[in-house]
Structure 1
């Protein structure tokens, strides 16, 4: 009787093993297309598969109480790429990170150790403080939104615009304003500086007078109330106004250059 019972149990166990190997176990089913999982499945050890797909009418959800990490390795088992989704950050570790368009033909964003490239036609920054760059910026075109002002500002340092073949600043329907706390320098090493406008105005230019700065007395020339002035220049390039007469009065009022 005991031998028959053992033989019966062995037969049942063999049948169960055959069923498990042929069809699967519980929510795990073996089909012609591969292994199919029904419902929520939990894996306590690493899972090695070639491809994971969801049902056509359902999304694929990977869930963990901590981080979700996807690793890619080469033939020697070395880590070549890693994507980690954490509770606070999403990290990607790879030689080159790319974001492509829906058709996969255009690279919209790429980053590696050398540079970050943005392949979209327009880069839009919606923050109220704009964009802050710690170092230099290389671009062929900087443009504001329609009907909005474009402002390039360096609150505590120098703002420098450089180009090997020229810098063009164009305000099609508005004003162009350049302001600074100290000196505004326009310099051309080989060419010329051209100011071309319907009218050119220089404001807050001091008015020179024929006064001896050592004695504080008139140098022998007095002028009536003036409405027309002559523009004079000192040797250091500073400009000042001198009362206009029949001849030039710049030499008479040149004492201005000594104390200006």
Structure 2
């Protein structure tokens, strides 16, 4: 244990301290501009009780945290050696910001995955996709209409078409952006 100094209302410990068992305190603080470091062999648990509400979070041995309820923080990040994963196994995840929200990966991919719909919504602004290359996989392709019998090349170039409901589909480069039959209409 580091140096202990008895002060009014408690004591101060300077240096490193090892606690075996529980530590119950009113306040843990560090000197100005100095970090507080908690090092645990297995789990690290913090319990806060306010009235009937219990907020509990713990850090797993492999690294990670599980939160029951909402979390408010200005920053969520990981070091450059590990991936950051934010998951909800049974509910939804909402990331809200009063001024904005930034999702950034400085050294790799940014991956979002879900079972159902993934929505990007801007109520008053625009959604911009700014990249050197943009891939839209799995889009349906309309066949060229039988009338007119235009020669369609076997190229891999298509028109990107948009339905009035916002759905996207591909059409041959020399055809129109329409489906010939209603039974295979992606716009429905």
- Give the CA deviation at 1:99: 1.9
Provide the rounded CA distance (Å) in 2 between the counterparts of 1:244 and 1:197: 23
Contact 1:229/1:241 (8 A) holds in 2: yes
Where 1:100 maps in the other structure, the secondary structure is coil
* Structure 1 counterpart of 2:161, from 221, 229, 232: 232
Matches within 5 A, 1:44-123: 90=22, 97-101=26-30, 113=50
RMSD: 3.8
- Give the CA deviation at 1:226: 3.2
Contact 1:99/1:110 (8 A) holds in 2: no
TM-score using structure 2 length: 0.65
Provide the rounded CA distance (Å) in 2 between the counterparts of 1:147 and 1:106: 24
Partner of 1:45: none
How far does the alpha carbon of each residue in 1:62-113 deviate from its partner, in whole angstroms, 9 at most, with x for none? xxxxxxxxxxxxxxxxxxxxxxxxxxx7485xxx821233x69989699562
Contact 1:98/1:110 (8 A) holds in 2: no
Where 1:98 maps in the other structure, the secondary structure is coil
The reply on whether 1:220 has 2:154 as its aligned counterpart is no
Provide the rounded CA distance (Å) in 2 between the counterparts of 1:167 and 1:187: 13
Provide the rounded CA distance (Å) in 2 between the counterparts of 1:204 and 1:225: 21
Contact 2:142/2:178 (8 A) holds in 1: no
Partner of 2:14: none
* Structure 2 counterpart of 1:249, from 161, 172, 176: 176
TM-score using structure 1 length: 0.49
* Structure 1 counterpart of 2:125, from 176, 181, 191: 191
What stretches of structure 2 of length at least 5 have no aligned partner? 1-20, 37-45
Provide the rounded CA distance (Å) in 2 between the counterparts of 1:146 and 1:105: 23
Q: Summarize the Cα distance change of 1:91–1:224 in structure 2 as closer, same or farther, 3 Å threshold.
A: same
What stretches of structure 1 of length at least 5 have no aligned partner? 1-88, 117-123, 211-217
Provide the rounded CA distance (Å) in 1 between the counterparts of 2:29 and 2:158: 65
Contact 1:99/1:107 (8 A) holds in 2: no
Q: Size of the alignment, in residue pairs? A: 153
- Larger displacement relative to structure 2 (104-113 or 201-210): 104-113
